[in-house]
């Protein structure tokens, strides 16, 4: 489904079973990304 909207990107699936089992999901591991000054 996502490949349709991101045709120039490599879209891969990942196993989220451990995250979901722990009451989380992708949002839970990506929400705390901090900006880096270059």
Question: pLDDT tens digits, residue range 1-31?
Answer: 888 999 999 988 888 787 777 777 777 777 7
* DSSP tag of 31: T
pLDDT > 70? residue 33: no
Check residues 36 and 10 and name the one with the higher pLDDT. 10
Give the Cα separation of 20 and 26 in Å (integer). Answer: 9
Instruction: Write down the pTM of the prediction.
Output: 0.38
Residue 38: which pLDDT band, with cuts at 50, 70 and 90?
A: low
User: 17: domain range?
Assistant: 1-38
Instruction: Report the chain's terminal Cα–Cα distance, integer Å.
Output: 34
| Burial track 18-35 (b if 16+ CB lie within 10 A, e otherwise) | eeeeeeeeeeeeeeeeee
What is the tally of structural domains in the chain?
1
């Amino acid at each position: 489904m996502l490949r349709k909207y991101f045709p120039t990107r490599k879209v891969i699936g990942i196993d989220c079973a451990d995250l979901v089992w722990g009451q989380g999901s992708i949002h839970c591991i990506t929400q705390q990304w901090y900006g880096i000054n270059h």
